[in-house]
């Protein structure tokens, strides 16, 4: 099953809240609201992506990617760039992965990109038009293990 964007169902609210996901600043719990908060989830792989905010002035957007209950933190640049080939991209600038997932780094990064593709697909359906932009992880992306 692919990543699907949806409002977090009421039966999953307590589980998500129990994970203790911090907000974009890392100082307070991210508020999960019934009927409002959404995620992009692949239930078969026990993985989901949730936006945490950010994007103020020079600040990146912050995301949490959870895989089997372990949280990776993601910083996604605000700036949209164009490659030499003319492709429109938004770059992930930093990914923080728990040590317990370090041997699965490549799989984790691939799932993160799949989840962002799921967000893009959801946005295209919502807007009723194609979005010519992709999220990328490249040689400038900082990968850190904690």
> Does pLDDT of 97 surpass 90?
yes
User: Which pLDDT belongs to residue 130?
Assistant: 79
Q: Which residues pair with 63 in a beta bridge?
A: 51, 74
Q: How many distinct structural domains can be found in the chain?
A: 1
Stretch 19-26: mean pLDDT, rounded?
88
CA distances from 29 to 25, 52, 68, 69 (A): 10, 10, 19, 16
Among 14-28, 69-83, 125-139, the minimum mean pLDDT is found in 125-139
> Does pLDDT of 118 surpass 60?
yes
Sign of the C-alpha dihedral computed for residues 52, 112, 39 and 21 taken in this order: negative
Q: 85 lies in which domain range? A: 4-145
Backbone angles phi, psi at 117, to 5 degrees: -65, -35
> Mean of the per-residue pLDDT values for the chain?
91
User: Which pLDDT belongs to residue 1?
Assistant: 54
Quickly state the pLDDT bin for 71 (edges 50, 70, 90).
very high
Specify whether the CB–CB gap between 144 and 96 falls below 8 A: yes
Instruction: Enter the pTM of the model.
Output: 0.91
> Does pLDDT of 101 surpass 70?
yes
């Amino acid at each position: 099953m692919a990543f699907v964007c949806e409002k977090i169902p009421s039966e999953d609210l307590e589980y998500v809240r129990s994970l203790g996901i911090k907000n974009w600043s890392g100082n307070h719990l991210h508020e999960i609201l019934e009927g409002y908060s959404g995620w992009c989830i692949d239930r078969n792989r026990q993985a989901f992506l949730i936006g945490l905010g950010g994007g103020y002035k020079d600040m990146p957007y912050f995301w949490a990617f959870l895989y089997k209950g372990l949280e990776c933190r993601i910083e996604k640049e605000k700036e949209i760039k164009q490659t030499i080939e003319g492709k429109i991209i938004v770059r992930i600038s930093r990914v923080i992965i728990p040590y317990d997932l370090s041997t699965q780094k490549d799989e984790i990064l691939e799932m993160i990109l799949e989840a962002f593709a799921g967000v893009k697909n959801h946005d295209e359906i919502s807007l009723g038009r194609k979005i010519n932009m992709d999220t990328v992880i490249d040689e400038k992306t900082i990968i850190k293990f904690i």
